[in-house]
Amino acid sequence: MTKFHSDNAAPVHPNVWEAMRKADEADNPYDGDALSSELDGRFSDLFGRECAAMWVATGTAANCLALATMCQPHGAVVCHEESHIEVDEGGAPGFYLHGAKLMLAAGDGAKLTPDGIASLIDPIRDDVHQVQPHAIAITQASEYGLTYTPEELAALSNFAKARGLGLHMDGARFANAAAGAGGSAKEAAHGVDSLAFGFIKNGAMSAEAVVLFDPEQAAMVKYRRKRAGHLQCKGRYLAAQILAMLDGELWLANARHANAAAQDIAGACGNRLMHAVEANELFVRLSPVERDTLRAQGFEFYDWGADAARFVTAWNTRAEDARALAKAISSL
Amino acid sequence: MTKFHSDNAAPVHPNVWEAMRKADEADNPYDGDALSSELDGRFSDLFGRECAAMWVATGTAANCLALATMCQPHGAVVCHEESHIEVDEGGAPGFYLHGAKLMLAAGDGAKLTPDGIASLIDPIRDDVHQVQPHAIAITQASEYGLTYTPEELAALSNFAKARGLGLHMDGARFANAAAGAGGSAKEAAHGVDSLAFGFIKNGAMSAEAVVLFDPEQAAMVKYRRKRAGHLQCKGRYLAAQILAMLDGELWLANARHANAAAQDIAGACGNRLMHAVEANELFVRLSPVERDTLRAQGFEFYDWGADAARFVTAWNTRAEDARALAKAISSL
Amino acid sequence: MTKFHSDNAAPVHPNVWEAMRKADEADNPYDGDALSSELDGRFSDLFGRECAAMWVATGTAANCLALATMCQPHGAVVCHEESHIEVDEGGAPGFYLHGAKLMLAAGDGAKLTPDGIASLIDPIRDDVHQVQPHAIAITQASEYGLTYTPEELAALSNFAKARGLGLHMDGARFANAAAGAGGSAKEAAHGVDSLAFGFIKNGAMSAEAVVLFDPEQAAMVKYRRKRAGHLQCKGRYLAAQILAMLDGELWLANARHANAAAQDIAGACGNRLMHAVEANELFVRLSPVERDTLRAQGFEFYDWGADAARFVTAWNTRAEDARALAKAISSL
Amino acid sequence: MTKFHSDNAAPVHPNVWEAMRKADEADNPYDGDALSSELDGRFSDLFGRECAAMWVATGTAANCLALATMCQPHGAVVCHEESHIEVDEGGAPGFYLHGAKLMLAAGDGAKLTPDGIASLIDPIRDDVHQVQPHAIAITQASEYGLTYTPEELAALSNFAKARGLGLHMDGARFANAAAGAGGSAKEAAHGVDSLAFGFIKNGAMSAEAVVLFDPEQAAMVKYRRKRAGHLQCKGRYLAAQILAMLDGELWLANARHANAAAQDIAGACGNRLMHAVEANELFVRLSPVERDTLRAQGFEFYDWGADAARFVTAWNTRAEDARALAKAISSL
């Protein structure tokens, strides 16, 4: 069986294991260790602007802690109607934001645009009966595997500033997005106020980074992280994972590998593709019979509605498996 | 330097590392893997009564998720005024319980008694102006390293039932408490409705267990765990840690080791001891000069107020280091 | 100027004033007075089934306190996408329900049906990643002035029971709905678990009733009412308002008056009507020029989008003013 | 029977009734009416500094809405251990502040001092494990009927500023405090950032004022007021109450009347008094037998512990009743 279900259950990369084992030696609890202390500087270098960075164990926590810096309990976060924070996080934003709303915007490929957001929020009356937007959350790569260009991000960032809204990026697959667009973390996070930088799907075990481009918000996030039960006492093992992923740009190499596998498969899909393949996800029109055929050959994946399937590649997807899937799709 | 600061930054036990590495092979995400599925049965066996058990990354989350099953947002949890949930969890109960209060009871050695609780809650008028208690939280071992006997637990459990209150046990050092009292997990958790069973201080890396002795509450906790951002997608690595700790009673062996080291030190402390040493913590009267003397010999520990110090042993405390500390204290 | 903006700013009915003045004489604080104590019995009589009833100052609070009895913080309330709790209550459900979601269903005339709800909730996977519905909220009369028949309510109630969901009714204009459908409060609230029974739009000053058809929930609502700052110390003045509205069926007489005025106007609207007029609201297709014409004659009302207007009658709408408006519309 | 239970159930003052009746004529909903619009200016004049002022129906809501402007959900409000917000508001601060804590300081006569607060908060470590104070709440007059002088308020205000804390005043009996200290509202609220100005105990029916001396916070409070279900649609009746109380300084005259009655009684109490009588409350040492004697003569009041009683006078306490009580106490 070769698995294309998701990248979220892939094994841990050997470099990450090694870094974690080495962290046995350190012994300051919480985030008082030397590894955790490196994060601010390492991410500031990576993004070319000063930022604060903290580990947490899940993307859900990373997104919600960042959003809490920009959305009051009586406000709302504008997000795509198919975004992960709306659809798949079990109501976590409502919990972390103390009852703030998610406002659902439409947009092709699960991407938001200034126009799409404006058409949602412009009709909101400026009175207390209606919840007002405080922030925007976008996903890079989007829930359909599409990426935002620096130009698109600049437009969103300018729009957000003009409206007095914060701009957060859910980067569960940020590495794949950056890899798909030339490899610049800086460009892939252009103009955002905060980023949940995902490492778990890309080779780590249990560490994502909350990156705040307004470092003054770091204190609040640290208090909230503790309050949410996310300050692990052996935090050095999380810091070690992230540092291992940053070292030698392992995050980028792993993402490029996954994206390349996705491209191999995409080449066989032709106009079966529902969306461009810009990262490591493929949404492919396949009839039930066709899906049965593929599954009979040992390929595992999720259905996507009645007439399609989703395939996800990962840092450990073997090239031969990707080619085999491509061939199988071509042969349908 | 030999460290007696805390057990919360000790390295990960080799068996735990081995089990985690093996978990690379599995690949169902979240808690859909075979390891996570074992937990209910393993803890039911251990405690001799049916229970549901789930991993989370911190004791704070474990405590709060369990408490949410027994305390409504408009209620209160009775706890000791020096308990960890009151003093050291950054307000997490207020977050997870949506604004419920902690009601602070007194008690020797940070232990609660039915009488102590009654004297706190009996004066509360049964009217809507006053927050009503919904639950009791105790700590095993207590914040001063004392343990509850099965008889004490039975009295608390009966009291709780008579008052319609839930009874939760914070077991950050549950293993040390059980080890200190004969080694029975069943007896050490006698009569409680839920337990946060700590493994991290005792050799794990990032996994504690929420144990619910009313398994019908498991669904609620699972939804709340996700909502709190604590459902890790590679949860198998947490389950693996816990299972490694349960296998061959490693949890008990590690705790016995730490407790034995504490006893070695205790033997040298005489009436310097502020509390009986029933687990792996020592609170020792030491003047500033005496503490300086010990530190000059390379021993590390926390001050405890102006005239005392706290020493904590761990699963990896070397016997010779404990003996050396004992000798140094004797020589003061 | 004759006003058809809304019924929410109408003056207080003379009987209500009189009852309030008489309440000066009583003097037990909060809800310990004789008037407040009457509510349970009076509403139980009115609805022909045992219920608990409490005053609060706003419909928003009434809705939210009732919903909190049936929706946990990690759950959701299904409501119409144009419902007041979604659109016009400033995020109050998110506050009172501690972050629970509103799930937005479609339906003609802002009414919900079992099929409409099923099509919304059936695709929700039964897993912790997705917020699960806990309750349904409907509005009687609906946001477009339509009423639910007892048969429609029975279908919704049966559906809710089958799915394990609570069923709440927002009755800001419950009196108008009941008046429009034969005058039976019992039928107009058929099968619901709770009702926010509105009196303010219908002649009271500041008192709505939360009616719980499961009286065991009353204690929780009373604690939550206090916690929300809604337990007024001179509550007798609110009870007096409600009792004055119930006495001699003033609530029904006032609503019938308003509905009759609406019917007078409706008779002139023909196929300009966007919805049937079943209570005291009219949604009328009118061009901008036509609206200008009406306003030039002194009629006040809200625009409803680009090509329509909303007219609301109230307990104090003068028959001649309604006829004058009808005539003016006929003459367009 | 002459009642000295509390001032919280006194009837409504005739001027207030008259003003409310006149408000029938206005008809803009919510706080869009002319009366509500007057509040900012009227209170700015009264306090001699610019402020924003809004009506709400209870002191609980007033306190909590104000505190939400100065305390984040992860912070704490320092208050007296016997303060109303801690003891008698059903956990409302936990609800409105989304789980923030109350930190309980001691102080004679339920008053706080900089030293008392410092001794509570100085030991709090500046780390994320411990909840940090964000605000201070004091009560004017205190729960024991004592008042803060302008000098005491200046000291608290300076302390708060130095520590970066907000300073809120619960003024449920602010009028009595001001009346007891020379009649200056300005002095009685010296240096505070917000005030819950109580009118209900002093002759109004259902209106207190939230006064914000940083008017920029008004928008947040307005959104939160709506979100809490406290934006009444016929708000003009609340504004009318407050304006009637301000007109001709009725608030001060009523408070002076109540205070004078309290002084009449105090004169008979000698060293039975547990606290100075600076407003309209008396705490008097009385044995059970003595209390029985008084009650047998028709005086009603609350026990205050085993050997004392609380007497409260109100705007409508008759001078002869106060004298009769004084005489009865003298005769014990």
Q: How far is D212 from chain A (nearest CA, A)?
A: 18
Q: Give pLDDT, residue C1.
A: 60
Q: How far apart are CA A219 and CA C219, in angstroms?
A: 40
Interacting residues of D40 by C-beta distance below 8 A, sequence separation 6+: D51, D52, D53, D215, D218
Residue C133 · residue C116 · CB < 8 Å: no
Is B225 an interface residue toward C (CB < 8 Å)?
A: yes
Annotate C148-173 with b (16+ C-beta within 10 A) or e (fewer): bebebbebbbebbeebebbbbbbbbb
Q: Give pLDDT, residue D1.
A: 60
- Mention the CATH class of domain D2-8+251-330: alpha beta
Among the partner-chain residues D73, D90, D94, the one whose CB lies closest to the CB of B128 is D90
Mean pLDDT for D246-265 is: 98
Closest CA to C134 of C73, C218, C210, C211: C73
Hey, are the CB atoms on D57 and C232 less than 8 Å from each other?
A: yes
Question: Does ipTM exceed 0.90?
Answer: yes
**C-proximal residues of A, 89-108, CB under 8 Å:** 89-91, 94-95, 97-101
Delimiting residues of CATH 3.40.640.10 domain(s) in chain B:
14-248
Q: Which residues of C touch A97 (CB under 8 A)?
A: 99
Is C132 an interface residue toward B (CB < 8 Å)?
A: yes
Q: D57-111 pLDDT, tens per residue?
A: 999 999 999 999 999 999 999 999 999 999 999 999 999 999 999 999 999 999 9
Is B134 an interface residue toward C (CB < 8 Å)?
A: no
Closest CA to C70 of C228, C226, C214: C214
- Mention the CATH class of domain A2-8+250-330: alpha beta
Q: D159-179 pLDDT, tens per residue?
A: 999 999 999 999 999 999 999
Q: How far is B273 from chain D (nearest CA, A)?
A: 24
- Quick check: helix, strand or coil at residue C169? strand
Q: Which residues of D touch B101 (CB under 8 A)?
A: 91, 94
Q: How far apart are CA D302 and CA A222, in angstroms?
A: 47
Q: Which residues of D touch A130 (CB under 8 A)?
A: none
Among the partner-chain residues A91, A99, A128, the one whose CB lies closest to the CB of C131 is A91
* Separation of CA D213 from chain center: 17
List, in sequence order, the alpha helices (H) in A83-189: 84-87, 92-96, 114-121, 150-163, 174-180, 185-188
Element (DSSP H or E) covering residue B310 = strand B308-312
Delimiting residues of CATH 3.90.1150.10 domain(s) in chain D:
2-8+251-330
Q: Would you say domain D14-249 falls under CATH 1.20.1090.10?
A: no
Structure tokens at A202: 């890309």
pLDDT-derived band at C2, boundaries 50, 70, 90? confident
pLDDT-derived band at C155, boundaries 50, 70, 90? very high
Is A173 an interface residue toward B (CB < 8 Å)?
A: no
Q: Which residues of C touch D208 (CB under 8 A)?
A: none
List, in sequence order, the alpha helices (H) in chain D: 14-22, 34-47, 59-67, 84-87, 92-96, 114-121, 150-163, 174-180, 185-188, 218-227, 236-246, 250-266, 288-296, 319-330
Mean pLDDT for D105-123 is: 98
Residue B310 · residue B11 · CB < 8 Å: no
Q: A248-297 pLDDT, tens per residue?
A: 999 999 999 999 999 999 999 999 999 999 999 999 999 999 999 999 99
Q: Which residues of D touch C201 (CB under 8 A)?
A: 233
Among the partner-chain residues C73, C74, C226, the one whose CB lies closest to the CB of B129 is C226
| pLDDT at position B110 over 70 | yes
Q: Which residues of B touch C73 (CB under 8 A)?
A: 73, 98
**Within 13 Å, how many C-alpha atoms sit on residue A123's CB side?**
9
Name the residue in chain C with its Cα closest to that of D223: C90
Is B130 an interface residue toward D (CB < 8 Å)?
A: yes
The pTM of this model reads 0.97
Residue D102 · residue D77 · CB < 8 Å: yes
Q: Give pLDDT, residue B1.
A: 59
| pLDDT at position C195 over 70 | yes
Residue B283 · residue B271 · CB < 8 Å: no
Name the residue in chain C with its Cα closest to that of A127: C90
Q: How far apart are CA B23 and CA B238, in angstroms?
A: 9
Rg value, chain C, Cα? 20
The phi, psi pair for B188, rounded to 5°, reads: -70, -20
Q: Which residues of C touch D231 (CB under 8 A)?
A: 58, 60, 90
Hey, are the CB atoms on C229 and D12 less than 8 Å from each other?
A: no
State chain C's mean pLDDT as an integer.
Answer: 97
Mean pLDDT for A92-101 is: 98
Element (DSSP H or E) covering residue B79 = strand B75-80
Residue D76 · residue D103 · CB < 8 Å: yes
**A-proximal residues of B, 32-91, CB under 8 Å:** 33, 56-58, 60-62, 64, 89-91
For the segment(s) B14-248, the CATH number from 3.20.20.70, 3.40.309.10, 3.20.20.80, 3.40.640.10 is 3.40.640.10
Hey, are the CB atoms on D99 and B98 less than 8 Å from each other?
A: yes
Distances (CA, A) of C52 to C161, C187, C220, D84: 21, 18, 12, 28
**Looking at this protein, which amino acid is placed at residue A98?**
H
* DSSP 8-class letter at A273: B
Q: Give pLDDT, residue A1.
A: 59
Name the residue in chain D with its Cα closest to that of A131: D223
Best to test chain A binding among C88, C124, C132, C303 (most A CBs inside 10 Å):
C88
Element (DSSP H or E) covering residue A255 = helix A250-266
Chains contacting chain C through 3 or more C-beta pairs under 8 A: A, B, D
Best to test chain A binding among C87, C120, C129 (most A CBs inside 10 Å):
C129
Q: Give pLDDT, residue C268.
A: 97
Looking up tokens 């739009």 gives C201
Q: C241-293 pLDDT, tens per residue?
A: 999 999 999 999 999 999 999 999 999 999 999 999 999 999 999 999 999 99
Mean pLDDT for A58-63 is: 98
Chains contacting chain B through 3 or more C-beta pairs under 8 A: A, C, D
Q: Which residues of A touch C100 (CB under 8 A)?
A: 91, 94
Other beta carbons within 10 Å of A173 = 30
Hey, are the CB atoms on A228 and B95 less than 8 Å from each other?
A: yes
pLDDT-derived band at D19, boundaries 50, 70, 90? very high
Q: How far is C205 from chain D (nearest CA, A)?
A: 7
Hey, are the CB atoms on C98 and A99 less than 8 Å from each other?
A: yes
Among the partner-chain residues B73, B128, B220, the one whose CB lies closest to the CB of C231 is B128
Delimiting residues of CATH 3.40.640.10 domain(s) in chain D:
14-249
Q: B63-105 pLDDT, tens per residue?
A: 999 999 999 999 999 999 999 999 999 999 999 999 999 999 9
Other beta carbons within 10 Å of A33 = 20
Angle at A11 between CA A5 and CA A13, to 5 degrees: 130
Rg value, chain A, Cα? 20
